[in-house]
Amino acid sequence: MLSLNDARLRWNQIFDNFSSASSLKQAISEQLGAEDPCVAGLRSVCWKLFILYPSYTPQLWVPELRVHRSTYEALCTEHLTLIRGGTLGAPDIDPLAEDEGNPWEQYRLDVELRAEIMQDVERCMPDIEFFRQPTIQTKLCDLLMVYCKSADGKSLGYRQGLHELAAVLLWVVWNDAVEVKPPEEEKLETLDEKEDLMEVVLDGRFVENDTWALFCAVMKHAKEWYDAGPEGQSGCAPIVAKSKYIHEALLMATDPELAMHLKALDVLPQVFLIRWIRLLFSREFPFEDLLKVWDALFAEDTDLHLVDLVCVAMLLRIRWQLLEADYSTALTLVLRYPSPLDTPPATFVEDAIYLRDNLSSEGGNVIIQKYSKRTPSVASSNSRPTPPSRRRFAGRSTQQRTLSPSKSWTPASGIESIVQDVAKNVLSQSQRWGVNRAVRGAVEVRRSLAPSPGPPIPHPKNISSEEQELVKQNAKLIKRIAADEERQRTLARILELGMQAVENGNHAEGTRRLSHVKECLLDLTKVVNRSLLQQHVPVSLPGSPSPPLLSSPPIGTDDQGISATRTPNNAASGRPVIKKVAISPPGSFVKASFKNNSDPDFLSRTERPRTTLAQSSFAWMLGDDPAEKIKSSFVPKDKQGKRTGEAAKGKDGSMKANDIEDDVVDLGELGKMKGPL
C-alpha cells in the first residue's frame, strides 16, 4: 500500500505527463527505465487503462469501476455466503438428502473447491512474503472462488495456474492501493477533483474487487488456454493445438532450422508451452522482470494474441543453445528458461511485435542476430526457407503419433495373433505405417529439389512449377493418410464386433469378421467390407468371388469419390478392375481445430475435401505398398490415365479433377515431415 502523498505523486506522473492512452502505451514500449509510467507512476492504473477501461479520462471510467466493484460484492454474497458459514436455509433440511437444491450439497462442493484452490494458493510464489499472509491468501482464494462459480468461469471451474495469474494482479493492485479514511466515502457522489478521483481509484478497500475485475478481463482471452477440450478425449485441448501452431507455423516461419531441430528431437511443444502460456510467463522470469513483460504485453495487445510470438521470440533467443542440445538439454533449457542477463525480458515483447510484422525467416534472422550477433548458417538460410504452415498436417489431426518406424505392426499368421496384436495396435500402428510411407516419399521429393533462394513465405501464385508439383504431391500424401486412417478405424470397429461375436459364442460370424480384418491388413488394396459393420452380417458363400466387396458401399459417406485400383490378382490379366477406394468424408480428418488461431483463413483452408493420393498419378509415392507399386510403376502412364477416366465414368463422376488443381498446400508441411527422420 502507498501513502496518500506518494500515491498522488505517482498519479500525477501518469496524468500530467501522458495526455492519452496511446502516449502512455508509447512510453511503456520505449522502456523508459525510471521514467516508466508503470514504475514511476502506478502500474495498476496503467493496467486498468489498458485492459479494463480503454477510455483514458478517469471521469469516464470511474463509473464503470464502481459497477465492477458492486458486481463483485453481489457475487461474493451469492457464492461465498455459504462457505463463510452463512445460513444453510431452513433448519429442517436434511443435510444428507441427495437433492440438487439442497444447500448442504452445495456446501460440500464449495468446501471441496475451496480446499483445492487453497492448496495452490498456499504454495503460490513461495519466495514472495506478501503471499504468505493469511489475509492475502484469503483474498486470492475468495476471488478465485467467485470467478469459478460465477458466469465468467463456471464452465472452466478451477484450473491450476489461475491462482498465479490472479496472484500477480493482486500484488500489483495491492501495492498501489491507498488507505482511504471512511468519511471520504460521503464525498464519492460529487466527484470533480483529481485528488478525489485518485482516492476512489486506489481505494484499499476494493483491492479484491479490482483484482477480480482485472482477472476477469485477462481470463476473457486466457480462458481457452485452460480449457481441457472435449470430455474424455486427451490431446484435444486448445492449448495443445496452440502449442503445435506456435511450433509448426510460427517458429517454422521464422526459424525453420530450429523448428525442425525441435521436431527431430521430439520435444513436444505443449510440454513447456502449457506453462509459459497459461501463467503468462510468470515462472520463466524473475518477478520484477515479469511485471515489465506484462506491462508491455497489456500495452500492446489486450487480446493477448502476441503471447504466441513472445514464445517464438523466447525460443529464438536461445536458438543456438537449442541447436546444439540433445533431447534432455533442450527440455531443460525450455523448462528452466535461462533469463537473459543483459537485456530485460520485456524485449521479448518488443521482438514479438517485430515478428508480428515480419513473420519470415528474414525477420527471424534479424532477431537472432540482434542478440547473438550471429546469423543462421548459410546452409540453413539457403535451403528453402520453410514457410509457415497455415495448414494442419491433416493426418495428425486427432491423434499425435510418433514417426518412429521401430514399433510397428507386422503381418501375423493366425487369427489369434492378429487379435492379440491388432486389437491393441490397429489404429496407432497402422497410422504410423501410413505416415512413414508418406514421410519417406515426401523427403525423397524434397531431396531431389535443388535448393533455391526464394521469398520467405512463398504464395501459391509466385512459386515455381517445381514447387507447385511438390506442393501437389504433398497434398495428395495428406489425403492418402486420411483415407488410411478412416480405413483403419473401420477395421478396428469390425475387429471389435468380431471379437464380441466370438465372445457371444457366434464363432462363424466372429471368424468372418476377423479374417476379413486380417485380409485387409495383409492387402492394403482390399476394400473394407462395410456390411460387416452391421450387427447381422449378410451371408455370403465362402469361396464365392466375394461380390460384397465390390458392391458394398465404400468407406465413408456417399459423396465420396471412387478410384480405380488393380488388385494383385488382376494384375496379370492386365485388365484393370474398378474398385472403390476409401476416401474420408470432406474435412472429417481435420478434427483438432485452430479456433484460437488469429488467422481466419487457417481453418477454412484445412477443411477442404480431399481425394486420396492413390487416385492420382503420384501414387508412386506410396512406394512400399505392393499393390500401389503395380498400379503406379508397372503400368504405363497412358493406362493410368485410362483408369482414371474409367473411374470417372464408373460412377457419379465424383472424382473431382479440379481437386488437384485448387488444393495447394504450403511447403511447410514437407519441412515438418522431414524433421523426425
Q: Which residues are at the interface with another protein (CB under 8 A)?
A: 116, 119-120, 123-126, 159-161, 163-164, 228-229, 234-235, 237, 239-240, 268, 270-275, 278-279, 283, 327-328, 331-332, 335, 399-402, 405-411, 424-425, 428, 432-433, 436-437, 440, 522-525, 568-569, 571, 623-627, 629-630, 634
Q: Which residue has the cell 488388385?
A: 567
CA atoms within 13 A on the CB side of 110: 24
Minimum separation from the CB atom of position 315 to another protein (A): 16
Cβ-in-10-Å burial (0-12, 13-18, 19+) of 465 comes to exposed
Of residues 118 and 197, the one with the C-beta less far from another protein: 118
User: d(Cα 467, Cα 486) in Å, to the nearest integer?
Assistant: 29
Least distance in angstroms from the C-beta of 628 to another protein? 9
CB of 116 vs another protein, minimal distance in Å: 7
> CA nearest 29: which of 268, 310, 348, 314?
348
Mapped to the 3 state alphabet, what secondary structure does 566-610 carry? CCHHHHCCCCCCEECCCCCCCCCCCCCCCCCCCCHHHHHHHCCCC
Scanning the structure block, which residue is given the C-alpha cell 486498468? Answer: 48
19: amino acid identity, one letter: S
- Sign of the dihedral through C-alpha 635, 639, 645, 650: negative
Q: Minimum distance from CB of 55 to another protein (Å)?
A: 35
- In this structure, are residues 422 and 517 in contact, taking their beta carbons and an 8 Å threshold? yes
- What is the distance between the alpha carbons of residues 154 and 123, in angstroms, rounded to a whole number? 24
Instruction: Tell the smallest beta-carbon distance from residue 551 to another protein (Å).
Output: 21
**Closer residue to another protein, CB minimum distance, 9 or 677:** 677
CA distance 193 to 33: 30
Q: How far apart are CA 562 and CA 612, in angstroms?
A: 10
Alpha-carbon separation of residue 235 from 253, 419, 591, 626 (angstroms)? 24, 27, 11, 34
Nearest CB to another protein, comparing residues 411 and 553: 411
CB of residue 305 vs another protein: minimum separation in angstroms?
A: 20
Q: What is the DSSP letter of 563?
A: E
Helix (H) or strand (E) holding 564: strand 563-564
288: Cβ contacts below 8 Å, ≥ 6 apart:
none
Pick the closer one to another protein by CB: 209 or 270.
270
> Angle at CA 438, nearest 5°, toward 435 and 440?
110
Cβ proximity to another protein: between 83 and 330 the closer is 330
67/109 with CB nearer another protein: 109
When the beta carbons of 125 and 394 are compared against another protein, the nearer one is: 125
- Given a contact cutoff of 8 angstroms between Cβ atoms, the answer to whether 252 and 668 are in contact is yes
Q: By C-beta, is 200 or 239 nearer to another protein?
A: 239
Closer CB to another protein, 384 or 518, in the complex: 518
Query: Residue 140, CB half-sphere, CA atoms under 13 Å: how many?
Result: 32
Residue entry with cell 488461431: 597
Short-list 566, 590, 552, 581, CA closest to 643: 566
Q: Which residues is 578 bridged to in the sheet? A: 564
- Minimum distance from residue 351 beta carbon to another protein (Å): 23
Give me the least distance between CB of 596 and another protein, in Å please. Answer: 14
Using the 8-state DSSP alphabet, how is residue 337 labeled?
A: -
Nearer to another protein, 347 or 429 (CB): 429
Identity of the residue, 279 or 648, whose beta carbon is nearer to another protein in the bound complex:
279
* Residue closer to another protein, measured from CB, 44 or 525: 525
Least distance in angstroms from the C-beta of 137 to another protein: 13
DSSP 3-state of 178:
strand
**Measured from the CB of residue 21, what is the shortest distance to another protein in angstroms?**
32
DSSP code for 48: I
Nearer to another protein, 18 or 131 (CB): 131
Contacts of 378 (CB under 8 A, 6+ apart): none
